[in-house]
Structure 1
Amino acid sequence: MEMDWIWGLVGGGLIGLGGAVFLLGNGRIMGASGIIGGLVDGSGLSNAAERLVFLLGVVALPLLLRPLLSEAPNTHLTSNIWVIVIAGLLVGTGTRIANGCTSGHGVCGISRLSLRGLVATVFYILAGGITLVLFRHLWGMI
């Protein structure tokens, strides 16, 4: 089995575990965009420490696991910084429009059999596929 598939499986398992722990620990859905959004717009200041610890874990865990790896997984990410910045802004905008992100709708929503989560997931997967075809295969940008 290729290592890319194994890394995807491990990452998906960790996201699912994180979502389950977050839900069991405080009774709320683990949506990364909502956690960040609550800090940015001020609506989540009552539990800002919890939100910051979550974000710290998202950043720190890969750094802590790095010494255990013989080589870093290849992300196949473009070296064009503007493509990365614009993509990040578009993803952030999309998650606000959809009232959730892949962790909220895809992982936590589908696992709770939420129709809204299922519909949102279908549409963002479809949008991602169309974007990839356009930007990589037709326009050669990524």
Structure 2
Amino acid sequence: MTIDWYNFTPWSALVGGALIGLSASLFVLMNGRIAGISGLLGSLLERGEGFGEKALFVLGILLAPLVWQLFSRLPDIQIDSGWLTLTVAGLLVGIGSRYGAGCTSGHGVCGLSRLSPRSLAATLTFMAAGFATVFVLRHLLGG
């Protein structure tokens, strides 16, 4: 294994992780709810209580790359799959997050930080499923 030292950016990753932790912590302190993105998006469609704060949180997620671009160049995006594959994958992730009662942000970031056994089980499950999917698609099917 070799490390691409030119593209190795531990400081920006550390700052990004700290900002994610800070925003999730502030959200739970101010709203009493965890910052699970799938739950936030679902509740935005219902237009229930706290709509404004939830909308601002999601807007902040969408605007963050534009703010970052003021200070540094955004990485090049390379998508190696077709639209059909991406659409099916997105639908499967959406269905999985609905049946799993949360997503990577809800379980992986907020749930694990609260030492939730349910979130640990969910995170281990979707990580294992992701590893297995990549292994099958890349190594067994040659995709």
1:43-76 per-position Cα deviation (integer Å, ceiling 9, x unaligned): x52222122111111101111111311x322454
CA radius of gyration, larger in: 2
Comparing 7-16 and 109-118, the one that deviates more: 7-16
What is the aligned counterpart of 1:82 among 84, 87, 92?
A: 84
- Give me the TM-score of the superposition, normalised by structure 2: 0.84
Task: Find the aligned partners of 1:82 and 1:74 in 2 and give their Cα distance.
Answer: 22
Query: If each structure's helix is expressed as a fraction of its own residues, which one has the higher value?
Result: 1
Cα gap change, 1:121 to 1:66, in 2 (>3 Å): same
Task: Find the aligned partners of 2:119 and 2:101 in 1 and give their Cα distance.
Answer: 10
- Cα distance, 1:24 vs. partner? 1.5
Q: How many residues align?
A: 138
- Cα distance, 1:28 vs. partner? 1.1
What is the aligned counterpart of 1:25 among 1, 18, 30?
A: 30
Task: Find the aligned partners of 2:56 and 2:93 in 1 and give their Cα distance.
Answer: 22
Q: Is contact 1:4–1:73 with CA below 8 Å preserved after alignment?
A: no
1:62 aligns with 2:65: yes
- Give me the TM-score of the superposition, normalised by structure 1: 0.84
| % identical equivalent positions | 43
What is the CA RMSD across the aligned residues, in angstroms? 2.0
Letter in 1 for 2:42: G
SS state of the match for residue 78, structure 1?
A: coil
